[in-house]
Amino acid sequence: MTKRVAYFCMEFGLHEDFRIYSGGLGILAGDILKAAKDENLPMAGVGIRWRQGYVRQKLDESGRPYDSFYEENHPFLEDTGITVSVKARGRDIALKVWKCDCFQNVPLYLLDAYVPGNADMLITGQLYGWFGEERLVQEIILGVGGLRALKELGIKPDVYHFNDSHPVVAGLELLREEIEKGAEFEDAWKKIRKKIVFTTHTPVIAGNESYDYKILDYVGVTKGFTKAQLKQIGGTPFGMTPAGLRLSKKANAVAQLHGETAKEMWKDIDGAAPILAITNGVHNGTWQDFTVAKASGKDLWNAHQALKTNMLKEISRRNGVILRPGALTIGFARRAAPYKRSDLIFRKPELIEPMLKDGVLQLIFSGKAHPNDMGGKDIIANLAQKAKEFPDSVVFLEDYDIEIGKLLTRGCDVWLNNPIRPMEASGTSGMKAAMNGVLNLSVLDGWWPEGCEHGVNGWQIGGGYEGEDCDEIDLDSLFDVLINEVIPTYYNDRQKWIKMMRASIDMATVKFSAARMVKEYYEKMY
């Protein structure tokens, strides 16, 4: 019998108008629910109804990003009539349970603290809009509140899947429940591990959540455990990822290379679950244009040109910029984080600037920085400045979301990706581009080492180099490949370009689909 899964995640990216997502983590979660629905698999999503969603990020007159939050209206959500309660910071928090029934057999249940009588009704207001203490309260809401909601709904999962470390508090709650029933700590731990799996994402230890025990005590995470028991689970300070690894029967990284990185990162965590590698995939029905999926030969080029024209029209509407449909157009859209090096291509001005002035290249950027990430905002400001310097060849689209992601991964000619290897866990935007015939030009990081056939279905840059001088190595390689391979092929060998587009689509459509990914989860993890 196929096991029933409760999939816990802090964010879910389902649709551009349902802004309870910030980026890749949420898009992954949304695509998993969609794929489970397509395959008729028993799964329920558990998340939070973020009343103000994620940050809306626009540019001011100087080109600096500024943040806004708006009350979101979700008329499609169904009131289950169920309210559960959790305790945090010594206070009871009532949580209304909403249902998103978009996927029939795969419902999504969302917890909402906007209930009269709560001391802090807006604790579920802004996704990632708070700091450590509030984040822990939100994780209690997701983990403890999520478990209680499932019980009230009469849902008895066979497996609890924690996507990243935010839901790990649910593992502690399951353990606490077994102890309260009379089980010894070690026996209870062994029992609950059989039902928990854990996905780790961030390939940098500093980027994984950890907390001092004082704040855990104050917020209420430690209730029911001795400090010695908690140290066995999470160490000192209490690490959410080490705890996730020790509370689960199996864990997974999100690409084959990331699997190697994660195993090395966490090799000193005694008692950790084995870390498998299940490469992410994306939902074809959401991200692959159906005209491209069906096209072949000359029709493929025409289908792509129609999508490119549509993208350029939307850019004109949004930014008032008229780009050239015949020019090689490179897209770069992702979270604005320093390691992703969004502005790397501008670091050789003697090479890039003549191409932009002569109209050989067009560059389209988009991205958001976390509201508290000043470095990320500096990157966006720099990209906006480049758009001012080269108004006919460079565009920055503000307030990056699913709609912009679809537009660019379908309409660009080339998808650029140049993170510092091996810091990109997966990088699913490149998969979306690939299955639309948009050719990847990417560092061999995340998923790309598994998909790349250089000069056949895209191009690699950097040769898999890792080191302190990676900026210089990757930049030299980027321009070498761009000038000597990408540009000549685009302008001088249309048939080869179309052949590469077809190879890209064939490579990505099944191998990097969410359907394949979910199948692997059920076979290898659940």
Q: What is the pLDDT of residues 183-214, one digit of tens each?
A: 999 999 999 999 999 999 999 887 899 999 99
The predicted model gives 398-405 an average pLDDT of: 97
Q: How confident is the model at residue 130 (pLDDT cuts 50, 70, 90)?
A: confident
For residues 441 and 230, what is the distance between their CA atoms, to the nearest angstrom? 45
- Looking at residue 166, its pLDDT comes to 97
pLDDT tens digit sequence for 243-283:
999 999 999 999 999 999 999 999 999 999 999 999 999 99
Give pLDDT, residue 204.
84
Q: Is 9 left (phi over 0), alpha (psi -120 to 50) or beta?
A: beta
In this model, does residue 132 exceed pLDDT 90?
no
Contact 329, 412 (CB under 8 A): yes
Query: So what's the pLDDT on residue 470?
Result: 97
Work out the pLDDT band at 233, boundaries 50, 70, 90. very high
Q: How confident is the model at residue 310 (pLDDT cuts 50, 70, 90)?
A: very high
Q: Does residue 129 carry a pLDDT above 90?
A: no
pLDDT of 479 higher than 80: yes
Q: Tokens for 285?
A: 């029905």
Distance CA 60, CA 83 (A): 41
Q: Confidence class of residue 102 from pLDDT cuts 50, 70 and 90?
A: confident
Quick check: 297 pLDDT over 80? no
Burial of 395-416, coded b for 16+ CB within 10 Å and e otherwise, reads bbbbbbbbebbbbbbbbbbbbb
Both tokens assigned to 80: 């289950």
Mean pLDDT of the 425-449 span = 98
Q: Average pLDDT, stretch 465-470?
A: 95
- Is the confidence at residue 105, as pLDDT, over 90? no
pLDDT of residue 206: 79
Q: Are 352 and 387 in contact (CB under 8 A)?
A: no
Q: Please state, rounded to an integer, the average pLDDT across all residues of the chain.
A: 96
Contact 68, 97 (CB under 8 A): no
Looking at residue 200, what DSSP letter applies? -
Query: Which pLDDT score, from 0 to 100, does residue 103 have?
Result: 79
Q: Does domain 284-512 have CATH number 3.40.50.2000?
A: yes
| pLDDT value for 417 | 98
d(CA 406, CA 404): 5
Q: Name the DSSP letter for residue 18.
A: S
- pTM reported for the whole predicted model: 0.96
Cα distances (angstroms) measured from residue 499 to each of 428, 437, 450, 457, 489: 23, 10, 20, 8, 11
pLDDT at residue 230, as a whole number: 98
Q: What's the number of CA atoms in the CB half-sphere (13 Å) around residue 401?
A: 18
How many secondary structure helices (H) and strands (E) does the chain include? Answer: 21, 19
Mean pLDDT of 349-365: 98
The pLDDT score that the predictor gives to residue 104 is 78
Determine the pLDDT at residue 357: 97
Average of per-residue pLDDT across 417-437? 97
Q: How far apart are CA 87 and CA 45, in angstroms?
A: 22
So what's the pLDDT on residue 339?
93
Q: How far apart are the C-alpha atoms of 274 and 84, rounded to whole Å?
A: 34
Q: What would the mean pLDDT of 160-171 be, rounded to a whole number?
A: 98
Residue 361 in contact with residue 328, Cβ under 8 Å?
yes
3-state secondary structure of 507: helix
Tokens 């558990």, residue?
46
Is 111 within 8 Å of 141 (Cβ atoms)? Answer: yes
